[in-house]
Amino acid sequence: MCWYGREKCKNEDKFIHIERLYKDTGFAATALLCIFVKKTRMILLDGRATAAQIQEELKAAVQLRKDAGQKIPHLAAILVGNDGGSVSYVTSKVKACEAIGFESTLIRYDETVPEDILLEKVESLNQDRSIDGFIVQLPLPKHIDELKITQAIDPKKDVDGFHPRNIGNMILNLPGFLPATPAGILELMRRNEIPTEGKNCLIIGRSNIVGTPLSIMLGRNSNPGNCTVTLAHSKTRNLKTICKEADIIIAAIGKPNFVTADMVKDGVVIIDVGTTRVEDSSRERGWRLVGDVHFDEVAPKASFITPVPGGVGPMTIASLMMNTLKAMELNGK
């Protein structure tokens, strides 16, 4: 309990109290003093709750189309192999389609499927007018050229936003599909009214599907946006120093618990894109998902922070659903 003089401190719930040693002539004494530094109130960026709001909005839009006798959005997904993370994400996408009222088609191949067979299926989906958008779940087996597959997708059906034409449209701020994860992150920030204008934003990881697109989207004249963006990578020097200067940190490198408390300043906004399975014998399934940020350490210093799981992942799926509805509008259906 803090006492200021002889009266109980009235700011105990609002301010931090620390013990200081004060030396006077001939003796030393300790006293609890009220230090007027406001506590940071951490807000959890609940991606599941925000994605649920978006699903309800999309569900209403689908119902209006049904009532008007219009076509219902149809999303297809190609899944190659049995990678645990990929299976989980595709399953979540199919469930989201069901919840919203979209039609969905899941096409599965063994991990040994030849590249030419996969390319034939991509072209078939390009030509299928009943399919409004489709994705090829990444990563693909090593014998398949991911770039070749991505370039084979019709840009008008590329609801993941990975095709070079859509990336170019994103850079020039022209109509098209934004990459699903970056778009989901921006939507999460927008709906939670996170201020970005003039902020120093550090993005750790320069992948073509998250880091690089985000650096462009947050740097342009928009809301969210107008950040001063630093894109860090494996060759970045003095990363810890750069982290401590950042108002917003977006971690997307796939290294569990990489960002720790000593790397961030008080009041930082944390967006954790990482999802890595680590062994956990206490769980029935034997593993748990861990982000790139050491949540327990960093959360007390953050003003906003995403959990893992339940942060960016659901927003990626919500963004994909938004792109699928948008595909119908762009194609005049």
Using only C-alpha atoms, what is the Rg of the chain? Answer: 24
Q: Which amino acid is at 262?
A: D
β-strand partners of 269: 248, 304
Has 53 been annotated as catalytic?
no
Q: Tell me which of 93, 121, 157, 326 is the catalytic residue.
A: 93
Contact 250, 204 (CB under 8 A): yes
- Secondary structure class of 50 (helix, strand, coil): helix
Q: How far apart are CA 86 and CA 272, in angstroms?
A: 18
Q: Tell me which of 160, 247, 272, 292 is the catalytic residue.
A: 160
Q: Which amino acid is at 12?
A: E
Q: Tell me which of 132, 137, 154, 326 is the catalytic residue.
A: 137
**Peptide bond before 195: cis, by omega within 30 degrees of 0?**
no
Contacts 24+ apart (CB under 8 A), 11-14: 11/36, 14/38, 14/39
Has 160 been annotated as catalytic?
yes
Q: How far apart are CA 117 and CA 152, in angstroms?
A: 13
Q: What is the DSSP letter of 299?
A: G
Q: How far apart are CA 320 and CA 298, in angstroms?
A: 29
Residue found under tokens 């990459």: 179
Q: Nearest Cα to 42, choosing from 315, 306, 263, 272?
A: 306
Q: How far apart are CA 284 and CA 192, in angstroms?
A: 34
Has 93 been annotated as catalytic?
yes
Active site residues: 93, 137, 160
